[in-house]
Structure 1
Amino acid sequence: MAKRRIEELKELLQKYDYHYHVLDQPLVEDSTYDLLLKELKELEDKFPDLVTPDSPTQRVGGQVLQGFSTVIHKTPMLSLANAFNDGDLRDFANRIYKTLGEKVKYVCELKIDGLAVSLIYQGGMLVQGATRGDGERGEDITQNIKAIKGIPLKLQRPVDLEVRGEVYMPKKSFELLNKEREEKGEPLFANPRNAAAGTLRQLDPKIVASRNLAAFFYGVVESTELGDSHRENLQKVKELGLPTNPHVAVFDEIEDVISYCQRWHEERNTLPYEIDGIVIKVDSLKQQQRLGFTAKSPRWAIAYKFPAQKAISVVKDIELTVGRTGAITPTAILEPVQIAGTTVSRASLHNSDYIAEKDIRIGDTVVVQKAGDIIPEIVEVLKEKRSGEEQPFIMPKRCPVCQNAAVRLEGEAAYRCINPKCPAQIKELIIHYASRGAMDIEGLGPSIVEQLYEKGLIKDVADLYYLKVEDLVNLERFAQKSAENLVTAIEKSKKQPLNRLLFGLGIRFVGQKAAKLLAKEFKELDLLIKADYDRLIGIPEIGDKIANSIREYFSNSDALQLINRLKEVGVNTKEEISPIPLESVLAGKTVVLTGTLEHFSRKEAQEIIESLGGKVAGSVSKKTDLVICGENAGSKLEKAKELGIPVEKEQYLLEILKKG
């Protein structure tokens, strides 16, 4: 009986993984998937002899690796020749025609900015994952590959296969990871590629699992099932259960290839992951074989590299900001410059070590780029342009806001203000408490918090629940309706589950994931408050740092007093999670946003769509289910009309939210 149920659960979970990660068509909510996975884990705990390597529970083993062994690639992982302009692409096409004496079809794929890997499946089971290394030898990272949810442990059919692909970190995961590292005083990753590479080289697969890596596969080396063309093989790989990139195009003419490259150079920022170019391949495998290889690369493929997105600016000043954990972060104030389609006037300098290492001074002429096209950073100081009037920067010994001592704790890169009453920390904590990932108090942004604090209406998060409409109507940007809306939103936040409250309290090292784990484990805040270090450290994924931080927080009389005040006003302190309906207006639908939105930022609109079960894509295709447009919508709207895809104004989202 148990064996049959285990097989049913494995088959069901593998089906859901395939639809979610490969077809982009989720069949169930995450909560349903988690319940099935929990049931499988409990059955396998009772019947350990029934555990198999392809079980979804075996993605993350409990053993920390001692190191990586070497893998010799049976077929070398060669690099590609590069093209940097249209002329290079035309030369590539001319060389092919000269060699073959006949026309070819070109397959174009986005060049994912990640880490190349090679996977081997035997009888449909994943047996090895390896890095590219030097092309001849790589590192065996099988356990870490198994920790990536989008990579199947078992294929849809029992085939033998060696496949090549790219592991990457989505932009959203990268932003969250760097935010967590900044709060901990740890050095930030420069870009998603470095973050993905650093993650895959972790010796603890649990860390890999926590960082939400993903993968796309683009090449078959050996297989018991091979087609006649590269495009056909991509389809076979997808059918076997491996994720492939949806933005693949086949062209007869090199001029169309050039147009494709130009289009994605302009639209690359719309993608949820980083690309640094386009890979162009001859489609026919027979023609590939005739073209052959040079010593370093195949003659039938080339990588078009996007131009570097950098600019030169001047450091006008270095400004200090104090975060909710007291971390003091220096920021360069720059002469505004255009990079990757946006105006950049600020760049994070991370910490004093970063400034000293690069010898950044006020007045310096510098090269600025967007790391991963997301975070502006100074990559170089043009010292030859110095006049002698540039001013070295020295980190102050006192907090720039409250003037209390700023200290650098052992093992940390950041200086911190150690005054818990520091106004900057309090305001940042209130902003964090009200944020969408925490208590989700709509309308309570930084400028409103600043006003409320300066007017003496709030001194901590508990004070929010004592605000009345008459307190707000006389403030800047408030009218009767907006004041009523904010008071209503604050009142509504009392019903949030415990995990959001825990995250909102701003306990150091307790991010959203840790908050959910703690809430799920203890169910009630009072039980968590009483938990000792040993109880906390016994929870999977709650490490020494988090456990110590939690104990320190709940040992503080001010924190306990704050929690008591929150209880008094009726804030929920239990993990009462209502079942999530399996169906939603946008469940399983792919939505594209275009034009300027009036009521939401792009990020807010994306979060709303995802909360309703939908997925946001960067471009319109036949797979698009809906386009939501704002003002000045352009080519995406036109393409939607051509394809007959439904189009709605952003009022559509507002109406859905009202009904909810």
Structure 2
Amino acid sequence: MANQDTSVDALTKAEAAAELERLATILVQANTAYHTDDAPDLSDAEYDALKRRNAAIEARFPDLKRADSPSDQVGAAPAEGFTKVRHEVRMMSLSNAFDDDDITSFDQSIRRYLGLSATDPLTYTAEPKIDGLSLSLRYENGTLVQAATRGDGQVGENVTANARTIADIPTTLTGVPDVLEIRGEVYMSHADFADLNARQAATGGKAFANPRNAAAGSLRQLDPEITKSRPLRFFAYSWGALSDSLADTQTDAIARMAQLGFQTNPLTQTCGGPADMLAHYRRIEAQRATLGYDIDGVVYKVDDLGYQDRLGFRSTTPRWAIAHKFPAELAWTRLEAIDIQVGRTGALSPVARLTPVTVGGVVVSNATLHNEDYIAGRDANGAPIRDGKDIREGDWVQVYRAGDVIPKVADVDLAKRPGDATPYRFPHTCPECGSEAIREEGDAVRRCSGGLICPAQAVEKLKHFVSRGAFDIEGLGAKQVEQFYSDGWIREPADIFTLKDRFGTGLQQLKNREGWGEKSAQNLFDAIDEKRIIPLGRLLFALGLRHVGEVAANDLARHYGSWAALADAVDIAKPAAEAYLAAERAVEDERRAADQDGRRANLTATRKAHWQDVPTPVRAAWDDLTGIDGIGATVAVSLLTSFAQEAERASIDRLITQLTVEDAERPQTDGNPVAGKTVVFTGALERMTRAEAKARAEALGAKVSGSVSSKTDLLVAGPGAGSKETKARDLGVDIIDEDGWFDLIEGA
């Protein structure tokens, strides 16, 4: 079994299953200890790290996700002794951020979802994340009728009598909606915690480990008189069920709660974007030790409540909020060696092998080094990081976890650098097969060019091929793939489907292998045969082509419909990939030359020059491919380049002869006015986001394209529509506005 520090990428499927079982056990116990027993046995950093490791393993092995997965759980079941309360509006947890880039990504994802540009105004609130116990207070006609803990998010504990003893919680309100559910955090100040423990010691009672335990244990007493004797406080910051809205923004809603008599956190502030959010985070972090109560981060929320409604929720967390956790423990240790691992797409990934050190309660012996630029002390643009300090074998390095599954090297102590330490030379050949390792312009990663002749790539591609989102062959997981590859039984996907024939019945050789018997061998061959029929989208994803994930694979499948149509289109468009790459290289050269000469670059002319000799059918096929919504030039080049490689295309063709590829499923579109039509959305849509528009159109059987062509049937043009509308008019494409679109699909 792998130890808890084994890289997720290094786990076999059997090890991953065992690790998920171990993590589920630990995290269930931790949830119970934290939420039910009020006696946490893990630090927040340890808990966050284990949950992230669990999520990473599930992402790599989705077929192993357990029914009781910690990823789908919020809190813990209510304790015995309290009556149960079902929350009318579920009490969610928050997704976590651990560094500045996470906050920038959060802002970008919000803008993408809402259809906002980088310059459109978008306001957030930032407030301290109180380390206490979540509580929901329900008022009906201004009277507190119910108080409940979060529990598992859906069902909590009825602690109404106890909540009424807390001075910060009003029992009656005036001028409020008929139904008002205020949510916040019960906590205990440091001074009150110290006094409570002193009283406990004086009376021979049990001392509490920390203020959070003390607050939770005090609120969840069966005797309200005990709760009354404890110095509990309450900060209000949110709400649940409402018969009428409190305000239009988070900021105004918090102000309304304060007017009603609730304590709200004075450090809550409105921020204009990531820079403001991070600046306020730093201010709160600097005050953390002097606040007088425990916090473990800062929570950011989209301020506009209309936007919050549009953003909605994931399974356990809102899309419109995120918790920026404070850094976990740092540690210094020796970097003993730098190893290179080769992944499915040929990426050479450097890994630091460390003298084992405890970081945040976990023993760490490996850490990621990202790429060759990171080792050299620069970012992808050549700017210095770590003040330009490079990383060398033998260095004394600072390691941090910050909740990440794989620890990272943050800094280097030059004062402790050995005198014989030399700069690390990143390999330009693959350590697995010796092929040239190429770093394309604009790519931060160096990749092996060996393709399927590289054993590391071949094995990882085969593991991906049999994974759950792909062929999902029962009994053929990562461990079996490694075994069969090592024995020379399979070298490419087609070999899986010829395995039985190549060994006669196949049973005799396989059933005599360790861990196999006649029944398990027969089950494997039966499982392989069952997967000879495969939907087009799953097949495309299973091929493991760079940049072609599940979403892109299904987009391609829906657009082309069948394997034959896709293969024909790709064969026609293949020369366009080289033309595109040549044009982009020329554009970059022109941009540099213009900068040096102090003139304005003519990028359009440069690009056109490289496309002018491309035959019309090739260009049309390229435009059709890149015009698929969600399929840009990056995915297109990857797809075309893979099919253009003789060995890889031959391998794919051999696979296809073993399969029956099902055409992409079409939605039920009888009588639908847009079924089968190619639709393009352009301009500023006001009643829906671009993502909402695409999803609705595809659900009605339309094809959504990102560009206008002769195949376009309908253009939906919002305010600010430009060149696409002009081109549509030139081509005679039907053009309607957003209201016309809703009129068209009404009732569909």
TM-score by length of 2: 0.42
TM-score by length of 1: 0.47
